[in-house]
Structure 1
């Protein structure tokens, strides 16, 4: 198992993205810019999450932040950035850091209406190195965590052939840097071509796609993937739709078997009984075996439900380039839709609500541990948000199985020559629950709990982590609110299943500038 320390990121890409935003024609529209600063004092008895507690410690944290949003017909942009400057009473324990940061920036621009679109995003976050190491939610611990930077630029060119068809050509350039010699940096190029039926086709629709991707990794040979697919859709009724697809997949990687390519097919149904409910399911077969997918979404006046299952060939870097499977803001966004129809206003309401209740930006949906291998991932997620007159509850559960498709030697730089089979066959499960109660117009109390469990089926190794916390927040004025919280984290980690525990109490003041 590799334990690393976070590095300071370059901000050149972020500056370039912001310059592009400001140069866009829609930049003349009003931007919502919300700077803030938070001051937090935390007492902890095990800041580095080690089996032998490092002793009581006070951690002082200064966190300036910036939130920028804009939504116009030509441009949608959002940026959320926070820096955490940390100071420790006495000597700083190993496995902690002086400065950490989180960044999430994204834009969707219509450079030429109906013809050229540009999507881009840039993320900085602390991510677990191993599914079997300590897991934490604080800002200061870097044990089993590493700073990961990822960016993606995706121009899309579209053309309509009247009502007959729509053609699309999409190029994606992306990169992931794990700051770790075992994972290293990687860059990818992907091209997607598609032709889909136009407005002339109502009852029966069709589509053709072809894609190609190359990935260059610092420590490994280049890998490639190619795919072609054709699909048909038939509207049986206004609410029921049948789909059929077929194609061919081809991957080039140092495989455990000779099955790296083959034909694929799937068929399924989509049922939309109302504008608030959608149920979709498919079954089929790909080169690795049977393949299934399922998705259910339902929204009522006070609840939002999401259930999904799918299987696919993926990798650690691919998961870092994807948004969280269970995005808390997206879940709450659906819940507040009826009360706040304007998307920009709703985004601000959701952000303020999450800050006041202490909800995390994403709900647990398995640990995306560091690995250089391609894997077959089968994942089930279920989440629900419930809202009453004075309380809100958010619940989620997940189950993930990752079976390695690449030779284990690819992970030798990460795990060593004796332990590279640790990630051969990993099963994960867990969930979270958060309950918020509004005591008054300015005071709220929250309870939350998360549980994660990982198992290596190859080495018969199990690891678990549990966090429970209680907090109370109060709005002192229009731009100031405070929070006090207590948290307990425990679990076991590593090949020897070493136990660890942390108890902490913190107080925070946040100022909106």
Structure 2
């Protein structure tokens, strides 16, 4: 359950956004993972949270667009990582974007961020950054960019803040109106970082592939989400028939609701932690749309490595400092009548660590979504979850300075 809203306090200048959500989440990636409410088990927690974000935006001296934003978040859970205390985050971000008056194909931007996150009695996580970027459009299909800056954080040691230089370079290439390739490589706080994204769409299909290495900071919301969600794929496939972004977003939401397909169906549960970690991911997904049938498929693999000695919180990294996850999921939807749709969903997820053997969860579901007359929603659930559980060690202690 979620809700969000946006209010314009001063015309075209001052805005405020707010959101609230309550959701069932997986307590540990090493337990049985479920799809939605399928195979409800003890490895589930209720997580609730809210955020509020006032910001100003406008144009500075007719030469650059600016935005200054404050974001405050708070989340808690009845189990897992956040059970010991609420997660509180406060961050400021600012940005300037402009285009050279002498060289219209040359663009520039400046960005800054400052964030602090706390959880229970553990030491705060802090992050500050300042970066400049220059981009150049070689032709309508190709643009390149370079950026440089500095970052300060206490990711490796909560008691020590380190400052490092950062460098990035990248390329965006659109060989056709339906295809986009994006490349980025650089040096950051964790060494090499990179990202490769490929997307392609036709009138009745959408395809995505990505490969990335980055630093994930869950408390500050700095992590790469699993790409190629059902919403993203449907939204891309409708681009030709519905060019308007607002109308396309509404049509995407309606299409998914009518077919009983979740907008965001991750292949496996995210790692439950408040710690900073290095994450390398490969993801592939596609969607096919027919007159009465639609198919969604996603496959992912990730390798996550804890940074530093740990925060003292008992979480997934308490069991293993290196976590590998892989799996796939898919769904097939068939329109029986204008009011009834048959949906079959299934998937496999397989997490493991160096000292933790791989085990698989295999949930599947066949159901008719609500709205088929006044009948109750029938469903058939099946699967073969691994009942073996790895028990986390006793809590480590790290006092907040």
What is the TM-score normalised by the length of structure 1? 0.68
Q: Which position in structure 1 is the counterpart of 2:9?
A: 111
Report whether the alignment pairs 1:126 with 2:24.
yes
Cα deviations by residue, 1:74-128 (Å, 9 ceiling, x for unpaired): xxxxxxxxxxxxxxxxxxxxxxxxxxxxx22223344334322323222211111
Report whether the alignment pairs 1:185 with 2:100.
no
Cα separation, partners in 2 of 1:487 and 1:172, compared to 1, 3 Å: same
Q: Which position in structure 1 is the counterpart of 2:33?
A: 135
How many angstroms does 1:235 deviate by? 0.8
Q: Give the 3-state SS of the residue equivalent to 1:439 in structure 2.
A: strand
Q: Which position in structure 1 is the counterpart of 2:197?
A: 295
Question: Which of 371, 382, 385 in structure 2 is aligned with 1:491?
Answer: 385
Note if contact 2:99-2:105 (Cα within 8 Å) is conserved in structure 1.
no
Note if contact 2:231-2:252 (Cα within 8 Å) is conserved in structure 1.
yes
Cα deviations by residue, 1:314-359 (Å, 9 ceiling, x for unpaired): 2444459987644433432333444456666655554444344331
Cα deviations by residue, 1:366-412 (Å, 9 ceiling, x for unpaired): 32232232111222222211101221001111111111013235234
Question: Which of 139, 145, 167 in structure 2 is aligned with 1:265?
Answer: 167
Q: Which position in structure 1 is the counterpart of 2:359?
A: 463
Find the aligned partners of 2:296 and 2:3 in 1 and give their Cα distance: 25
Cα RMSD of the aligned pairs, angstroms, is: 3.0
Q: Which position in structure 1 is the counterpart of 2:98?
A: 197
How many angstroms does 1:286 deviate by? 1.2
Note if contact 1:150-1:320 (Cα within 8 Å) is conserved in structure 2.
no
Cα separation, partners in 2 of 1:181 and 1:268, compared to 1, 3 Å: closer
Matches within 5 A, 1:102-251: 103-137=1-35, 139=37, 141-180=40-79, 182-183=81-82, 184-198=85-99, 200=101, 202-251=104-153
Report whether the alignment pairs 1:422 with 2:314.
no
Q: Which position in structure 2 is the counterpart of 1:27?
A: none
How many angstroms does 1:159 deviate by? 3.4
Note if contact 1:260-1:287 (Cα within 8 Å) is conserved in structure 2.
no
Note if contact 2:154-2:161 (Cα within 8 Å) is conserved in structure 1.
no
Note if contact 1:124-1:149 (Cα within 8 Å) is conserved in structure 2.
yes
For structure 1, which segment, 390-399 or 141-150, has the greater mean C-alpha deviation from structure 2 after superposition?
A: 141-150
Matches within 5 A, 1:363-512: 363-408=265-310, 410-412=312-314, 414=315, 421-457=318-354, 459-472=355-368, 476-477=372-373, 480=374, 483-492=377-386, 493-495=388-390
Report whether the alignment pairs 1:280 with 2:160.
no
Note if contact 1:444-1:474 (Cα within 8 Å) is conserved in structure 2.
no
What is the TM-score normalised by the length of structure 2? 0.85
Q: Give the 3-state SS of the residue equivalent to 2:184 in structure 1.
A: strand
Q: Which position in structure 2 is the counterpart of 1:52?
A: none
Cα separation, partners in 2 of 1:181 and 1:277, compared to 1, 3 Å: closer
Matches within 5 A, 1:25-36: none
Cα separation, partners in 2 of 1:227 and 1:318, compared to 1, 3 Å: closer
Note if contact 2:27-2:43 (Cα within 8 Å) is conserved in structure 1.
yes
Q: Give the 3-state SS of the residue equivalent to 2:269 in structure 1.
A: coil
Gaps of 5+ in 2: 392-401
Find the aligned partners of 1:159 and 1:349 in 2 and give their Cα distance: 30
Q: Which has the larger radius of gyration?
A: 1
How many angstroms does 1:144 deviate by? 1.1
How many angstroms does 1:226 deviate by? 0.9
Find the aligned partners of 1:114 and 1:386 in 2 and give their Cα distance: 40
Q: Which position in structure 2 is the counterpart of 1:35?
A: none
Cα separation, partners in 2 of 1:297 and 1:163, compared to 1, 3 Å: farther
Cα separation, partners in 2 of 1:113 and 1:281, compared to 1, 3 Å: farther
Aligned residue pairs: how many?
386
Note if contact 1:163-1:198 (Cα within 8 Å) is conserved in structure 2.
no
How many angstroms does 1:273 deviate by? 3.0
Cα separation, partners in 2 of 1:342 and 1:481, compared to 1, 3 Å: farther
Find the aligned partners of 2:88 and 2:370 in 1 and give their Cα distance: 45
Note if contact 1:402-1:426 (Cα within 8 Å) is conserved in structure 2.
yes
How many angstroms does 1:174 deviate by? 1.2
Find the aligned partners of 1:231 and 1:291 in 2 and give their Cα distance: 17
